């Protein structure tokens, strides 16, 4: 691995503990104005001090995020489908490597779809992204997208994560599931978990803690942070789990204290 690749990876994953809190804010690329991200910068600004990196699309990056901001960007470079269209899980490449470099991306994020009709298309497009990343020393995060019909179990997520790593991902984002240690064990590159749909804060913190215990190096979390009743308190609590080895209960107490909700 060359110096540039290592340097960018060390911006995404904190070298002090090998963990990361990635803040996913790319949902609009297929969901439109997602609740909490209608005005992206209004939501993101107070969260930035507690995130290790941001994961936006180039549109939100260019139009909503000040270029002076000192935070690494993992740029969403796949898309082309929508929640209302017929082929949600048939994403292609949406950003050229030239533009990713112009935007000073520290990493590229691409969704693959294993086990569905367009598996081959997404995996081959992903391999192109890996080649581009290698050429310029930019790490690639594989997002293991899950179709509506698919079961989010260790067998399936382990398969998708391993395939992503075999093709060339430097990091994999997947979903937490029972037996998650099997997913991590079978994946030779660092694994982070997505949060998924909004769930109660205590449950989201328990999930993050369980994922870390099973070997994940952090989270790439969106809705469970920015749709929380108190997003700043929630990202601080997630951060405590990821970087301070807090238990889920300790983190939830922190959430309550930070949000001033002594219940």
Q: Is residue 52 within the footprint of ligand R5P (CB under 6 A)?
A: no
Of the candidate spans 19-27, 130-138, 180-188, 248-256, the one that interacts with ligand R5P by CB under 6 A turns out to be: 19-27
Nearest CB to ligand R5P, comparing residues 218 and 222: 222
**CA separation (Å) from 18 to 33, 111, 170, 184, 244?**
33, 23, 14, 15, 12
Residues 75-114 that bind ligand R5P (CB under 6 A): 111
Q: Is residue 11 within the footprint of ligand R5P (CB under 6 A)?
A: no
**CB 194 → ligand R5P: shortest distance, Å?**
4
Q: Is residue 65 within the footprint of ligand R5P (CB under 6 A)?
A: no
Residue for token pair 């340097």: 7
Residues annotated as catalytic are: 173
Residue 93: strand pairing partners: 78
Q: How far apart are CA 158 and CA 51, in angstroms?
A: 27
Candidates 9, 12, 13, 24: give the one binding ligand R5P (CB under 6 A): 24
Nearest CB to ligand R5P, comparing residues 143 and 210: 143
Candidates 143, 154, 238, 242: give the one binding ligand R5P (CB under 6 A): 143
**Secondary structure (DSSP) of 136-198:** HT--EEEEE---TT----HHHHHHHHHHHHHHT-SEEEE---TTHHHHHHT-SS-EEEE--S-
Q: Is residue 204 within the footprint of ligand R5P (CB under 6 A)?
A: no
Tell how strand 171-174 and strand 140-144 pair up. Answer: parallel
3-class SS at 174?
A: strand
Q: Which residues bind ligand R5P (CB under 6 A)?
A: 24, 26-27, 55, 111, 143, 145, 194-196, 220-224
């Amino acid at each position: 691995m060359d110096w540039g690749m290592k340097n960018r990876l060390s911006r995404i994953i904190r070298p002090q503990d090998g963990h990361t809190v990635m803040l996913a804010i790319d949902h609009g690329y297929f969901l439109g104005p997602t609740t909490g991200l209608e005005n992206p910068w209004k939501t993101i600004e107070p969260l930035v001090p507690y995130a290790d990196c941001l994961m936006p699309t180039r549109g939100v990056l260019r139009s909503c995020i000040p270029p002076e901001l000192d935070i690494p960007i993992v740029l969403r470079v796949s898309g082309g489908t929508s929640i209302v269209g017929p082929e949600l899980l048939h994403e292609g490449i949406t950003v050229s490597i030239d533009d990713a470099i112009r935007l000073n991306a520290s990493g590229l994020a691409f969704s693959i779809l294993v086990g569905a009709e367009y598996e081959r298309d997404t995996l081959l497009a992903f391999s192109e992204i890996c080649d581009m990343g290698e050429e310029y020393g930019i790490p690639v995060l594989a997002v293991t997208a899950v179709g509506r019909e698919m079961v989010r179990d260790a067998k399936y997520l382990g398969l998708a994560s391993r395939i992503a790593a075999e093709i060339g991902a430097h990091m994999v984002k997947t979903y937490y599931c029972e037996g998650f240690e099997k997913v991590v064990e079978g994946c030779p590159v660092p694994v982070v978990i997505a949060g998924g749909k909004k769930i109660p804060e205590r449950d989201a913190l328990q999930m993050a803690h369980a994922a870390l215990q099973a070997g994940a190096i952090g989270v790439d979390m969106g809705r469970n942070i920015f749709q929380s009743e108190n997003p700043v308190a929630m990202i601080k609590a997630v951060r405590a789990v990821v970087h301070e080895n807090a238990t889920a209960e300790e983190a939830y107490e922190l959430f309550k204290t930070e949000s001033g909700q002594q219940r």
